Chains A and B, each alone.
Chain A
Amino acid sequence: MEILHGIFIDPFITMYELPDLLVQVLWEGFVAGTLYSLIALGFVLIFKASGVFNFAQGIIVVFGALSLVGLHSLGIPAFVALFLCIGIMFALAWLVEFTVLRRLVNQDPIILFMATIGLNYFLIGFGEGVFGGEPKTMITAELGLPTGAFDFDILGGLVSLQQIDITAAVTAGVMVGGLAVFFNKTRIGRGLRAVADDHQAAQSVGISLNHIWIVVWFAAGIVALATGVMWGARSDVSFALSIVALKALPVLILGGFTSISGAIVGGLIIGISEKMAEFYWGPLVGGSIESWFPYFLALLFLWFRPQGLFGEKIIERV
C-alpha cells in the first residue's frame, strides 16, 4: 500500500506543492533532451545516408571539443580554433570515407557497425595520445558564450535558467533548422535523400556516393562539435563525456534510426521523462535509475511501434 502510495500519489503531491521545482525539472529535462537530440542527430544523419550505425559518434563529440580546447591552449584565438576544428572534422570525415567506408561498401550492417567501434578505439587512443587524458575546461568565455543565469521568482520559489543551457537549446534549434533547409533545398541535400532511398538508383543517376558520405560525416562531425562545446561548458571536456553520448541510443530507438524529427522528439521525450523519473520516482528504489530508465521507456514504445516513432515501416518479402 505504502509502495503504491509512493508511486502513484506522493510524486504528484510533490509536484503540486513545489511547482517551481517541477518547472525546473522540466527545464533541465528539456535542456538535456536537446543535447541528446543533437547527438542522436549525428547518428541519424549517418545512418540515413550510409546505413552505418556509427558507434563512434560519442567519441567524435569528445574529439571535437578536445581539439577546440587543445588548439586554443596552443595560443590560437578561440574563433580561429573553432574554424580549424571544423577543418579537422572535415579531415576526419574524409579519412573515414577513404579508409573505411569506401572499402566496406555492400558489407553487412553489423560489419560496418564493428568498423565504427574500431574507429571508436582508434580515436580514443589518438585523442588521449595527442591531448592527454586530463579533463579540460571548455573555453566558454573566449567563445563568447554566456555563463550567467536568469532567475525568476515565480511559483513560490526560484526558477533559474542557465544562459548556457538556453544557448544550447537555441543552437540545437538552429542546427536542426539549418539541416532541414540543407536537406530540402540544396542539390547535395537532394542527392543525400536520394542515396538514403536507394544507393544503386542514386548512383545510376550520377550521384557520387563517396561525396555524399563525406558530406554526411562532415555534417555529423559539426553537429558533434556543437554538442561537445555545449556539454563541455556544462561540465568539463574529458573522455568520460562519451559515456553521456550513449544516451543517444534510446533516443534513436524511440525516434527511429532514419528520422530527423524522430531524433528531436525522441530526445525531448527521453530527456524530460528521465529527469522526471529520477527526481520523483528514483528515490523509491534507491536512485540512479537514469542509467536504464530511458531504455525501458524506449522498449515500451518499441513494443507498439517496432520501427520507432517516426521510423519507416519495414516491409519484408520472402
Chain B
Amino acid sequence: MLYRETGQFKTTYLADMAIFPIRQDYFLMIGILLFAYVIAPLVMNDFWLNSIMIPTMIFALAAIGLNILTGYTGQLSLGHGGFMGVGAYACYKLTSYFPDVNIIIHIFLSGFFAAAVGFVFGLPSLRIKGFYLAVATLASQFFLEWAFGRIAWLYNYNDSGAIEVSSRTLFDIPIAGASAEPVTRYFVVLAIVTFLTWIALNLVRGRFGRCWMAVRDMDIAAELIGIKLLPTKLLAFSVSSYYAGVAGALMVFMWLGAAEVESFDINHSFLILFMVIIGGLGSILGSFLGAIFIWNLPVLLRAIPDMIGVNIGAATVEHMTFMVTGALIIFFLIVEPHGFARLWQITKEKLRLWPFPY
C-alpha cells in the first residue's frame, strides 16, 4: 500500500530518468533533507552535532568514495584512510599558502590532490586483482602514513608534527577552528555532503557508472564490449579518492580541528570498508546507512550502561563495545550479506504489498 507506484505514469523520458522515479521515494527524500537541514540543528545539542552528526556525514562521504571504487568498480581498497590524509594535508598546505581564499574552495580543491595520489596508486590495479590488489593498496596506506610523519614540509615544520586549524570565516561567520559553532560547521558539512552525494548519485547511473559496473561484473567481458579498462579503473580510483580527500579535509577542518598521522591510520581504512560492506556494496544509500550504523554503534553501546544505571568501568565498556561490534558485524553479514541497502529494498517490497501480502 505504502510503496505502491500504481497510478504514477511516466509521460516523458525526462520523468523516466529522474533520480527518484517513484513519488514515495521523492517525498521520503524531502523528509530526510528536512530533518537534516531543519529539525536536526533545532533539536540537537552540541554533543549530538559534534560527535554524531558531523562525523557520520563525513564518514558517509568517505564511504561513498570507497563504494564507488569497491561497490561499483569492484576494486578492493584498504588505503582510503591514507587518501583522506592526503586531502587533509593538501587542504592544510593550501590554507597556509593562500590564507585569503575561502576554506570551502580549499576543501573542494584538496580533493584533487587526493585524486592524483589515488590515480598513481591505482596503477597496479591494471595487473593485480582481488585480494592481491587489496594488499597492494595497503602499500599506499603505509607509505602515506610514513610520508605524513616524515616530510616536515607537509606540516609546516612545526614542532608537534600535527596540523592545526586556525579560524576561517564565511560571510564573517566562523566556520572552522575552535570558535566555530557546531551548528555552523554542521551546515557546512551537510551542504558539501549533499552536493557531492547528488553528484555521486548521477555519476553512478550515468555512462561512467555503467562502465564501472561492467568492469566490476567481469573486466575481461567489459573489455570485449569496448570499455577501455585503463581509463575506467583509473577514473574510479581518482573519483573515489577525490571523495575520500574531501572527507579527510572536512574531518580535520570541520570536525577535529587538529590531526596527526594517527588520525589517518589503517583502522580508518577498515572503518570505511566496514561501512561500505555493512551498508551495502554498490549503493549510495548503503554508504549512509553503513556510516550511521558503524559510527554510532560504539557511541550508543558506550551510553547504554549509563542509561540503565549500571556502573561498570570505562575499560569494560570498551571491551564490550568491541565484542558487540564484532558480533553484530558477523550477525548482519550472516543475515544479509548484501547489507542494509538490501534490507531496505526488501522492506520496500514488503511495504508495496502491505497489509495484504497474498
Contact present between A and B (CB < 8 A): yes
Which chain B residues border A307 with CB–CB below 8 Å?
Answer: 132
Q: Is A302 a contact partner of B337 (Cβ separation < 8 A)?
A: no
B193 at the interface (CB under 8 A from A): no
**Which applies to chain A's interface (DSSP): helix, strand, loop or mixed?**
helix
Mask of A105-147 contacts with B, CB within 8 angstroms, 1/0: 0011111011101111111111011000100000000000000
Distance between Cα atoms of A128 and B127 in the complex (Å): 41
Q: How large is the interface on B (under 10, 10 to 19, 20 to 34, 35 or more residues)?
A: 35 or more
Best-surrounded residue of A104, A120, A299 (most CB of chain B within 10 A): A299
Q: Is B319 a contact partner of A108 (Cβ separation < 8 A)?
A: no
Distance between Cα atoms of A288 and B142 in the complex (Å): 11
Give B322's nearest chain A residue, CB to CB. A125
Closest chain-A Cβ to B164's Cβ sits at a distance in Å of 23
Distance between Cα atoms of A107 and B337 in the complex (Å): 8
Mask of B304-324 contacts with A, CB within 8 angstroms, 1/0: 000000000001101111111
Which chain B residues border A316 with CB–CB below 8 Å?
Answer: 220
Distance between Cα atoms of A286 and B278 in the complex (Å): 40
Assuming the contacts A118-B329, A118-B333, asked whether A299 and B124 have C-beta atoms less than 8 A apart, the reply is yes
Distance between Cα atoms of A60 and B305 in the complex (Å): 29
A185 at the interface (CB under 8 A from B): no
| Binding stretch for chain B, among A23-31, A188-196, A214-222, A245-253 | A245-253
B203 at the interface (CB under 8 A from A): no
B129 at the interface (CB under 8 A from A): yes
Interface contact tally, CB-CB below 8 A: 140
A interface residues, Cβ below 8 angstroms from B:
53, 99-100, 103-104, 107-111, 113-115, 117-126, 128-129, 133, 246, 249-250, 252-253, 257, 285-286, 288-289, 291-292, 295-296, 298-299, 302-303, 306-308, 314, 316, 318
Nearest first, the 10 closest Cβ-Cβ pairs linking A and B are A125-B322, A122-B326, A121-B326, A295-B139, A118-B329, A125-B323, A129-B319, A292-B142, A118-B330, A292-B143
Question: 21 A-B Cβ contacts within 8 A?
Answer: A107-B337, A108-B337, A111-B337, A118-B329, A119-B330, A122-B323, A122-B327, A122-B330, A123-B326, A124-B322, A125-B318, A133-B315, A249-B135, A288-B146, A291-B146, A292-B143, A295-B136, A295-B138, A306-B132, A307-B132, A318-B220
Interface contacts beyond A100-B330, A246-B138, A295-B142: sample of 8 additional A-B pairs, CB < 8 Å, sorted by A: A108-B337, A111-B333, A114-B273, A115-B334, A121-B323, A250-B139, A292-B142, A296-B143
B interface residues, Cβ below 8 angstroms from A:
70, 76, 124, 127-132, 135-136, 138-139, 142-143, 145-146, 149-150, 218, 220-221, 224, 266, 270, 273-274, 277-278, 281, 315-316, 318-330, 333-334, 337
